[in-house]
Structure 1
Amino acid sequence: MATTSGGDGVGLSPHAGALGAFAEALDAAHTGDVALVRALAEVGRSALRVAHVGGVRGMASDMELRSVAAEAAGLAGRSDRRLQHDIDHAMTIVDDYPAAFAAWETRRITRDHVEVIVKAGMVVPAEVRPAFEEAAIAVCERDIAVRVREPLRALAERMHPREFTDRHRDAAASRCVRVLPGADGMSDLIATLPTVIVAGMLDRLTQMGQSVKDARAAGVDAAAAGAGAGAAFGHGAGAAFGDAAATKRPEEPDARTMDQLRADALADLVLGGAPVVDPTYGTDAPGPLGAIRARVQVVVTANTLTGTDHGPAEAVGTGLIDADTARELAGQTTSWDRLFIDPITRTPVETDTYRPTASMRRLLQARDQHCRFPGCRRAAIRCEIDHTIDYALGGHTHIYNLAHLCQRHHSMKQFTNWNVRQLGGGVLEWTSPGGRIYREDTPFPAVCFTPGIPSTAPPGAHPEPPPHAPPASQPPF
């Protein structure tokens, strides 16, 4: 251990200057973090105070929080959903765990300790929380955050007045599935389910993978064993993997690892399987749910599609996909539309009815790709088409008076003081209640895959072509 001596500096660590600067930076970061959490909590309280004027509750509170979170997100240059989560979390720390917040502010514990306390305390009811908080702070003062997680979890379980069985019944109501986009054309599919279900799923996938390995060792083709990834993709649902059994030649050996086999089997089961019992049909016989096929909106350039280059395509709302997968999809599906847009004139497409035509919907999906609120990336196929100027107020069903908005931001436009106008060319300009202006541009791809829409034309009639499609004699690209 380095030691220090008298005031002449002899014996000081050669890193003293760097460590001193680091300590000063830690002090500044601590002060800033505390101030930021307090400020975020106050933003949330301000929204609630405004929404509760006159005794208003419910939807008004949520809309006011959405609105103020959106404006704060503009200041921070972040997603408004993430900013609202940070506001909620800050209010939880400051209002629900005041002792832990005070201990952090006075540096008795760290921010990491606070996060561990809040996470462990999620299972503790409000009436027990103060006692849990004081006991948790005492534990945190004795060790670093990573070492107190399990002790605090055990402490919360001991202090909870309800039986574990009753709490699990409530927790099961929060089961969900979500996607986290990753790098290199990959994403994480996360399912939050009861532990026994998850354990059973993993066991079944492992057994399937082991069966394929056993069949492989016995000289049986893995695809014939029924666990080759891509079987469901033949139904127009998904993508192709470079090492998947569906894309390998019969003479090529199946060298997939157990992890790959489990992942491929899971993909097949989700994309091509059916529920054991279909509640829409009432029995365990094949029903409507088993007939549903996955739908993915893919945006790809003409050059990538034809093989001129190998740039990535985009699975809208999820992430990038490789060129081989995009071309594989184009070759397998029978329900894709080629959209050709004049890059110079951007000729308007309009209808006199309230609802846009099928061709307009396809065009808007290609143009918008996602929700058009600044920072939101909810896929267009999961959004609603909004009239920027309300149809009831004279707004036309015109390609430049329409834009995709997710339910969250569609409601916020309708019920708060956020305003939007279209500047032309698909560019939207949003004005916050505080007067700040945000411009939302969007690229206009040349080619887009969209879900097939059954024709409603009578027999013998020619179906409506996509807008700006080239004449039949003109080459497609």
Structure 2
Amino acid sequence: MTASDGGGEARRDDVTPSRALAFARYAEALDLSHAADIARTRALADLGHAALHDARRDGVRGMASDMELRSVAAEAAGMARLTDRRLQGEIDHAMTVIDDYPAVFEAWVQRRIERGHVDVVVRVGAGVPAEARGSFAEAAIAVCERDVPSRVRGALDALAARLHPQTFTERHKTAAAERCVRVFHGTDGMSNLVANLPTVIAAGMLDRLTQMGQSVKDARAESAGAGADAHAEDAAGPGEPADTRTMDQLRADILGDLVLGGAPVVDPTYGTDRAGGLGAIRARVQVAVTAETLMGRDENPAEAVGAGLVDAETVRQLAGQVSEWDRLFIDPVTRTPVEIDTYRPTASMKKLLMARDQHCRFPGCRRAAIRCELDHTIDYALGGHTHIFNLAHLCQRHHSMKQFTKWEVRQVGGGVLEWTSPLGRVYREDVPMPAVCFTIDTADPPPDAAPGGPPPDEPPRF
């Protein structure tokens, strides 16, 4: 996602001078903040380098060298009125950015990427071998230039996984062995229940809780409109207040109900969820995987869209449980879906758009496509066609904003969206880069591959 200033010509006539002045001041503040962040990072790294230089000068090593860093951090913390532990962490981070990722730092200086991008690159890059760090950094910059910091983690994780000496499946097995549930007690009689689970399980749990919560809300609304059926499950009785719980509150309450009132699915005395009602709801997890991984030719991770990476073994198990497959042809240059081989056009369009968009297409929004609405970029009532290049996923918040505010959007081809703010600034929302990258091995093509055509084994999505 890139942004540009539409200039004086593009500025809307209905933008008030006070709003234009406010945005001009905000742009100036962003420039000052960027310059300050760069200067602070350089200064923190200089503090760390000075401490290490003094330690080498005095011939100290190991813990004594760390003492120099602690001393410098303590004095800097006094100047900044922060804790010395925090300052030492910032010093370590600054030295890592400047010493280990010089290309990333230079891209930040040039404002090709933002501070948030740098933090994500360093965090993900911690697992990349030193000899591959340069290649990782260059590829990471290209990823970060395309999108906001909150939406690049998946692609960077996949990039780091490919460069790691161990396969993702091997590392997942080690991590899964440490799955656990913990309680952290808080204040006002509240506590946090934290579960460390495989990604596909966690994503499925959240999806199912959301569906159940929406079912409860719908049942309450229907019963209120019908005069409150006293026999309807979960319906408010006569005189009872309407259910005003938020979705977060509903998910929390339903989780408590399921854990306290349910039983493990392996318990032969209880079985699985009861049939019908909320028990009939099953989780939906959108996963993208290459055919090579499904056939066991490699152990590359797949992508749980909107969540993270999933190990190959888990994906192959999931694949054996589905009855419907969508074969997806991927453009080898842009990595975007261009065709899907299902029969009914309406269904195929929906599935292709879900695969293409992955999430809400408003700049910076991470709401998964399965939780969004398909919007006609040019309203159907105004002559807009129901075509893949006039449709895009928008979450309810940004769909409403498009309808009821002066934000405008147009599709410029290839699924790329251009948003124009009321002030005339243009934000380019490129097609999301999938965390799972599909490649074609041109060195040894399959014997039945047609010249210039797609390879016979295409990545399915389920």
TM-score with structure 1 setting the length: 0.37
Higher relative CO (Cα under 8 Å, sequence separation at least 6) belongs to: 2
TM-score with structure 2 setting the length: 0.38
Larger Rg belongs to: 1
